[in-house]
Chains A and B, each alone.
Chain A
Amino acid sequence: MTEIIQRYGPDLLTGFGYTILSWALGTLLGLVLGFMIEIARRFGPAFLRYPIRAYVEFVRGTPFLVQLFVLYYGGPLIGLRLDALPAGILGLTIYGSAYFTEILRAGFDAVPVGQVEAARAIGFRNTTIITRIMVPVMMVSALPALVNFAIILTKETVILSMITVPEIMFQTQTMMSETFAFVAPILILALFFWGFVELISRFGRRLERRFTHYLLDRS
């Protein structure tokens, strides 16, 4: 066992690194893209609404693995030849953006209209209304769902192994086929994800406390 850890430890650490990197970038960019899509749908011109809806429905309606294969193997046909890691991150970004945008839509819908009207009445600009009124209020209801989806995305990263991103699942499979030890590597993988998700959910709860601070009883 110690021998195996010595032999495969560095590879597993590299794998952890790639998993965390692709998750972090995919989630962050997905959130940014999802936010931009939601802003465009809400405040942009009307002709954007149908394309956006088609995009969201397409991404939500097809398996992530299929999207990734289309991007990786189909992309070069239209001149988009990405390496495995950028393709994987872009795939996660696209996949995440469709879900994030829907979560944000629900969040924005929950912002009381009166608050926006009041802000407009005292002369707030649209951008200020979004950043100072809508986003802070929206985050209260949307944050748990956003964190939840970020957690789901951690586990989607294993699919990147299918397009040769050397992340943790990829390394684990190599380790399994070379050592013929099948249970231990999978257990290590499971423990890694469990710890990783635990960290994210703790961080999420801390964020929630921050955003709901003003709701706390101060007496």
Chain B
Amino acid sequence: MTFYTTVKSALLGLGALAFTTSAVLADDLADIKAAGKIVVATEMHYAPFDMLENGEYVGFDRDLFDEIAKELGVTPEYLDLPWTSILPGLEVNKFDFVLAPVTMTAERAERYSFTLPIADATVAFVQRKDGKMTGPEDAKGMTVGVQKGTAQEKQLEAYGEKIGGITVKGYGTPDEAYADLMTGRLDAVAGSAPLLSYLANTRPDNFAVVTPPFGTPTYFGFVARKGDGDTLVAAVNDALEAIKADGRMAAMQEKWFGMATELPATMPEL
């Protein structure tokens, strides 16, 4: 291959890529109602929010969104994708809505349209049952795992700088980080409090949550595309309020988190 033909084929490849990023202005809610179904993406390795049980998708998000879809009058269709490809997929219209759940951050709010909070997302540590941590400060000098590309990872890094050094290792899913905690490569795993309590409650012989949480108080929300998805988010918020008002939310919280908690009815400060 000569230099010229090499360059030519490279340019052709770049050209083909450029065509894949065009966007069309649309109203997602109207499209979804017309189609009678909503395609929703999540990562089904995020217990108790999203998980697989005997091949079936279950969890808090599943129960909640089934109810939301009922309120909207559409059929939900759930997709299982790795977290790192969920937000890119939303941007290029591969699906309509993200459950995942997504931690609310100012950077993400600029780019995506968040629903009202659906759960607490404050970050804490979990350790092996025989672990030595008595408080989050003990993480100094330790190796801590976290899911890669998450708001929890950023908070962990910031906390590490504050207390003087944590070795952070990024994993594809929280499950892999828990597995590596059990192999002894990690001293702790950082994650959102509801996830870690669920883990410690279901496997009390292996894991223990380190209290109190170390992160600043944050919340999980669902997201849609900015602009196109705004009407959809408004409709989901109305549905959420209805679900909270008649006690369905509290029942789901009891079922999956072990206790009912009050969620803010307005968007929290980010």
Q: Which residues in A have some Cβ–Cβ distance to B below 8 Å?
A: 73, 76, 81, 83-84, 161-162, 164, 170, 173-174, 176-178, 180, 182-183, 187, 194, 198
Contacts and interface: CB of A to CB of B under 8 A. Distances in A.
Contacts of B111: 180
Contacts of A182: 87-88, 91
Contacts of B172: 161-162
A170 B147 CA distance: 12
30 contacts: A73-B176, A73-B179, A73-B180, A73-B183, A76-B183, A76-B185, A81-B184, A83-B185, A84-B169, A161-B172, A162-B172, A162-B176, A164-B145, A164-B169, A164-B171, A170-B148, A170-B170, A173-B149, A174-B170, A176-B84, A177-B87, A177-B149, A178-B107, A178-B149, A178-B154, A180-B108, A180-B111, A182-B91, A183-B17, A187-B14
A86 to B, nearest CB: 12
Contacts of A164: 145, 169-171, 180
Nearest to B112: A180
B150 interface: yes
Dominant SS among interface residues on chain A:
helix
B21 interface: yes
Nearest to B9: A194
B25 interface: no
B10 interface: yes
Contact of B184 (A76, A180, A187, A194): A76
A180 B87 contact: yes
A8 B21 CA distance: 23
Contacts of B185: 76, 81, 83
Given A164-B171, A180-B111, A173 B17 contact: no
Contacts of B184: 76, 81
Q: Is the interface of B mostly helix, strand, loop or mixed?
A: helix
Interface residues on B, range: 20 to 34
Contacts of B176: 73, 162
Nearest to A179: B107
Contacts of A180: 87, 91, 107-108, 111
A26 to B, nearest CB: 20
Nearest to A164: B169
Nearest to A173: B84
A178 B184 CA distance: 29
Interface in B46-84: 84
Nearest to B86: A177
B17 A174 contact: no
B191 to A, nearest CB: 16
A177 B157 CA distance: 15
B149 A174 contact: yes
Nearest to A69: B176
A182 B107 CA distance: 15
Q: In this complex, which of B14, B91, B183 has the most chain A Cβ atoms within 10 angstroms of its Cβ?
A: B183
A183 B185 CA distance: 34
A66 B140 CA distance: 34
Contact of A194 (B10, B17, B145, B183): B10
Residue among B10, B88, B145 with most chain A CB within 10 A: B88
A174 B148 contact: yes
A183 B21 contact: yes
A170 to B, nearest CB: 7
Contact of B84 (A81, A83, A177): A177
Given A164-B180, A174-B170, A176-B149, 11 more contacts: A73-B176, A73-B180, A76-B185, A81-B183, A161-B172, A173-B84, A177-B87, A177-B148, A182-B87, A183-B17, A187-B17
Interface string B136-178: 0000000001001110001000000000000001111000100
